[in-house]
Structure 1
Amino acid sequence: MVTIAFRFPAGRYHATPWGRHVNEAEVEWPPSPWRILRALVATWHRKADTERHPESVLTALVERLAGTLPRYRLPRGVRAHSRHYMPQGRFKGGREDTSLIFDAFLRLEPEAELIAHWSDVTLEPAERALLDDLLRDLGFLGRAESWVEARRLEGWEGELDCCPAELSIDPETGEALDPVRLMAPAPPEDYPPWRAAVIDAHGLDAKKLKKPQREILATLPERFLDALRLETSELQRAGWSQPPGARPVLYQRPSDAFTQRGGRVARRPRRRAHATTARLALAGKPLPRLEDAVRIGEITRLAAIKKAEQANGGHVPAVLSGHGLPAGNRHGHAFYLPEDADGDGKIDHILVYAPDGLSAEALRALDRITRLWERDGGEWQVLFEGAGGAADWPESPYLGRARTWSSVTPYLHPWYAKKRFGVAEQIARECRERGWPEPEVRIEQARWEGPDGRPRRPVHFHRFRSKPGLRQPDTRGQFVRLTFPEPVEGPVALGFGCHFGLGLFCPTHD
């Protein structure tokens, strides 16, 4: 067997999965088998003593490792990103035009080790010596800033938690909840017949070839080893949807592979299926106003449903759509709550909160949202920050525990007002249904102040759902202040449209 341990001394791992744009802010984790083999081949070219380690030994080593799929043990990390406005060399309106660029990476403890294990591979002494030297000289894995230290382990017998999907894994153990598609080498013996079939199908053996055909043929080397040497730019220019000699393989990684606490990386319960809260970050110029919270909440739900259909073969979890729930379950499904985390009056995050829990399917769909857009031209990039419990997001303005909660967006009563069934009575009924004590209710004329310092009234907010024919008992709305007899855990969202950003409250600790 062959076991390799990787450490990232800078505490960062940068790598973009094959087929994903770098600005999607996606991180390939774990490093794909294809990436590991290409890194070994590149290190041989740059640093190896070719007299001591001839190419024939490299070929034998690569073909042995390519003949079987590795399994991994993943250290937990935090998915993070930085944002840069890159100049484009052109001017618009007298100012230099810039583009927002995401630089995504996985933050790890510098001493944490990623294990890649080939259980069915046995190396000859010359191959082991070459592998040891290549791992010693390997400087980075992924992008150049992903500094790495690698070594081969003898007799390693630890536990593995990221395995190919076709291997026997019991989903009830919680060890395989998050499928991820990685690029792996095809069996080396399959490469020559596959290459011959491609050449025949595209007529690449003709005497005269057009330029696109020549580019394709240039990326079909005769030897499997040479296929690993091809530059990504060559493959993209030739139009390959996947590299020659490679195949996509579905792996199952732990659902808590990405933890999201600040500071040092902390472990969470292994079953992220019990997560109740996920958080999305928005980027764009300009960001949407908090007054348009209900519109942003609605398009976030639509994006989540669309990604769920794509990821789950048309099936949409009820926790995302709110449809198909048991009778009486009105508020256990997802709330899409737009946030103004920095207090500038613009929506910069979206909190997705489901009291009944977000399933693995739901989290997978939320993770795939990369942008939100409106028909009137507004468009924003989205980054999935992670999932966990409400306590994992202390920076959210809607979470916490307090007795007093004040309106952030207008409260619209969900039932028609009647005598002795006004705003206070309807709020009391909603709180009883949520299992909260009845609060003291105080109406406020103007509560929230915008970045210009002027008070905002309910009329300044968008207060209508886009769903046609929807009954809406209250179209005016009001700001209210709730004082409970005992502390209540947030988020608190009540009234009409509360699942989309209306009726939002923040804790007040005065």
Structure 2
Amino acid sequence: MPIRLDITLLSGRYDAGGGDDPHAAEWPPHPARVFSALRAVAADDELAPLAELERLSPPLIHASAAGEYRARGYVVTNARERKGTHQNHPARTAGFRQRFGSLPYDARVQFDWPDGDALSDGSLACLDRLARRVPYLGRSTSPAILIFSRVRDPEPLPGLTTYEPVEGPGTASIRVPYPGYLDELDALHEADQPAWQAAGARSRRSYREAGAEEEVPGRQPVESPYPDLVVLRFVGRRPPGSLVGRFTEALRRKVMGQTEEPLPPALHGHGLPGVPHVAYLGLPFAGYEHADGQLMALAVAIPGLDRAERRRILRGILGSDPNHSVSLYVPGIHGSFELQYSPNDPLPRSATVTRWTGPSHTWVSVTPLVLDRYPKDRDLASAATTSLVQAGLPAPREVELSKQPMTQGAIRLRPDELPKRCRGRLYTHARVMFDQPVKGPVLAGAGRYFGVGLFAPEKGGEQR
């Protein structure tokens, strides 16, 4: 018989951020988050049932609709500093935080595993004991009661909507456990790393409301070759966009120096012809009326990798600082630049993941597109199309090219300001239109791994 997990949110709310989007709330609760909560309360001799649970297929989720809320305030930081400014907590400071959560119309949520008969009664009883120990889901401000049981006729509670996993695009992307998820959580804990690092592309499943009509195949978004985008925003001074190549090269050098040997092939790119590898980006303030092209953040785009390589690269990006602060020295520029990984803080739009991921039918370059090959008969549009296709994107329906930026704030570079690996090649700004929506980040051209060839979704080109 199937097994069911009943969740009751005692406060009537669910305090958990959306992860990928710092300005969104997670709803419904993700099975991967529940699994992490079960692991947190499990003893070493209670892990076998969790290993069985992660091998089951993604569950059906029954939940009501929910509204979102936002809470703002100053909270005491955990890190200690020599000159702490907090009056009641020595060596600490208070930082502004903005948190998002959900207010469901029904505080009850249910997960159903149709293949739960693979679990023995003993394993189910152990999972139930673990569930009853879990004090809360998400943040500690959303206490919850969790109960496992076996159900003969798994009808959901009245008023709840059923969401089912689907192949291909759905209406929601939800994190679920998978075989090996338990080992990854344990490895992260031993390395004193946060559990969110286990939330890569492998844990993402598409869900859709049961009974909803499938989307027309021709309009389903095309996935980006880069499922992960780690954004490091500038704290304090921001460099001009013309220095993008120097900053991405400095970041690349730092990440490779902080990643444990042997370096993952996706990081250095050697021996991987035609396969996407890690890309370093400068994210400018571009695409808006008063945009000035300053770099708001740097970012690292990570292609789909196995969890071990992905985890090592994430550690190389963030280093050992518990506050995820990165100090970057750029040769030839006085002083260092401070970068911060803080996806749950209120951020400028250009320093968020969603700004660069779309989906959209129309994308416009914010850093020049460096052509992969010299065009025959000066057919630049054909060469630009080739660069897009070689980057793993569909052939566009229409391509517009210009020597000048085609959106406010896009970066214009002199030949000597291009990344060193791109100098001597033809380059141009571009606007491309696809027959179906495309998800970002959209990177193309010979410089896509080194800071140029970045596109932004253009207003009016969103999925219709």
TM-score (normalizing by structure 2)? 0.50
- CA shift, 1:499, in A, is 1.6
Asked if 1 retains the 8 angstrom alpha-carbon contact of 2:248 and 2:451, the reply is: yes
Distance 1:358 1:105, change over 3 A: farther
* Partner residue in 2 for 1:322: 269
Contact 1:400 1:491 survives alignment (8 Å): no
CA distance 1:500–1:5, change in 2 (3 Å): same
Take 2:400 and 2:408, find their aligned partners in 1: how far apart are those partners? Answer: 21
1:30 maps to 36
Residue of structure 2 equivalent to 1:12: 15
Map residues 200-215 of structure 1 onto 2, 5 A cutoff: none
Counterparts of 2:38 and 2:244, CA distance in 1? 40
> What's 1:161 paired with?
none
Q: Is the 8 A contact 1:372 1:380 kept in 2?
A: yes
Kindly indicate whether the alpha-carbon contact (under 8 Å) linking 1:177 and 1:255 is maintained by their aligned counterparts in 2.
no
Alignment of 1:125-164 (within 5 A): 140=136, 144-151=140-147
- When structure 1 is superposed on structure 2, of 298-307 and 363-372 the one drifting more is 298-307
Structure 1's unaligned 5+ residue stretches are 15-26, 38-64, 92-96, 158-172, 185-240, 243-247, 265-273, 386-392
* One-letter amino acid of the structure 1 residue matched with residue 418 of structure 2: R
RMSD: 6.1
Contact 2:445 2:453 in 1 (8 A): yes
- 1:427 aligns to what? 384
- Aligned to 1:285, which of 224, 235, 238? 235
Distance 1:142 1:488, change over 3 A: closer
Instruction: Give, in whole Å, the separation in 2 of the partners of 1:281 and 1:289.
Output: 16
Q: Deviations over 1:158-183 (max 9, x none)?
A: xxxxxxxxxxxxxxx95225611289
Aligned residue for 1:363? 310
- Tell me which residue corresponds to 1:209: none
Kept in 2, the 8 Å contact 1:176–1:254? The answer is no
Could you tell me whether the CA contact under 8 Å between 2:406 and 2:430 is conserved in 1? no
Residue 396 (structure 1) shift? 3.3
User: Which whole-Å deviations, capped at 9, do the CAs of 1:195-220 have from their partners, x for residues lacking one?
Assistant: xxxxxxxxxxxxxxxxxxxxxxxxxx
CA contact (8 A) 2:395 2:434 kept: no
Aligned partner of residue 406 in structure 1, secondary structure:
strand
Structure 2 CA distance for aligned equivalents of residues 419 and 256 of structure 1? 39
Alpha carbons of structure 1 residues 322 and 7: separation in structure 2 relative to 1, 3 Å: farther
Deviations 1:59-117 (A, max 9, x none): xxxxxx7754463358899xxx98866585379xxxxx966477899989853469999
The amino acid of 1:458's aligned partner reads: L
Deviations along 1:430-487, one digit per CA (max 9) or x if unpaired, are 346456369655324344434xxxx86435995334xxxx57214xx86523456956
Instruction: Report deviation, 1:408.
Output: 0.7
How far apart, in 2, do the equivalents of 1:262 and 1:282 lie? 30
Please give the secondary structure, in 2, of the residue aligned with 1:396.
helix
Query: Counterpart in 1 of 2:186?
Result: 181
Listed one character per residue, the Cα deviations across residues 336-361 of structure 1 (whole Å, up to 9, x for unaligned) are 4444588564435736264xx43333
Specify the alignment match of 1:333 in structure 2.
Answer: 277
* Residue 354 of structure 2: aligned partner: 395
Q: Which amino acid aligns with 1:335?
A: A
Structure-1 residue corresponding to 2:49: 71
Judge conservation of contact 2:247–2:282 (CA < 8 Å) in 1.
yes
Alignment CA distance shift 1:398-1:117 (3 Å): same
C-alpha change, 1:299 and 1:485, in structure 2 (3 Å) is: same
Matches of 1:438 and 1:141, distance apart in 2: 46
Counterpart Cα distance in 2 of 1:305 and 1:108: 43
- Taking a change above 3 Å as real, the CA distance of residues 275 and 5 of structure 1, as seen in their structure-2 partners, is farther
CA displacement at 1:366 relative to structure 2 = 5.0
**Helix, strand or coil at the partner of 1:372:** strand
The change in CA–CA distance for 1:66 and 1:11 in structure 2 (over 3 A counts) is: same
Greater Cα radius of gyration, structure 1 or 2? 1
Counterparts of 1:278 and 1:432, CA distance in 2: 20
Equivalent residues of 2:282, 2:295 under 8 A apart? no
Q: Secondary structure at the match of 1:71?
A: helix
- Letter paired with 1:71: P
Residue-by-residue CA offset, 1:219-272 (whole Å, 9 max, x unaligned): xxxxxxxxxxxxxxxxxxxxxx99xxxxx9x9xx896796599999xxxxxxxx
**Given that residues 73 and 97 in structure 2 are in contact (C-alpha distance below 8 angstroms), is that contact kept between their aligned partners in structure 1?**
yes
Aligned pairs, how many?
Answer: 340
Structure 2 partner of 1:472 = 423
Matched residue type, 2:308:
E
Listed as ranges, the gaps of 5+ residues in structure 2 are: 18-32, 64-69, 77-83, 113-118, 153-176, 210-223, 319-323, 330-334, 345-351
Whole-Å separation in 2 of the counterparts to 1:472 and 1:69: 55
Amino acid of the structure 2 residue aligned with 1:504: L
Matched position secondary structure for 1:502: coil
In structure 2, the residue matched to 1:350 is 299
Partner Cα distance (1:367, 1:105) in 2? 25
| TM superposition shift of 1:377 | 1.6
CA separation of 1:280/1:118 partners in 2, compared to 1, >3 Å: closer, same or farther?
farther
Out of 440, 458, 473, the position equivalent to 2:413 is 458
| Cα 1:287–1:373 shift into 2, 3 Å | same
Instruction: Identify if the C-alpha distance between structure 1 residues 139 and 319 changes in structure 2 by more than 3 Å, giving closer, same or farther.
Output: closer
Q: Partners of 1:333 and 1:486 in 2: how far apart?
A: 26
Given that 1:339 and 1:349 are in contact with CA atoms closer than 8 Å, whether structure 2 keeps it comes out as yes
AA matched with 2:413 = P
Q: Distance in 1 between matches of 2:297 and 2:283?
A: 6
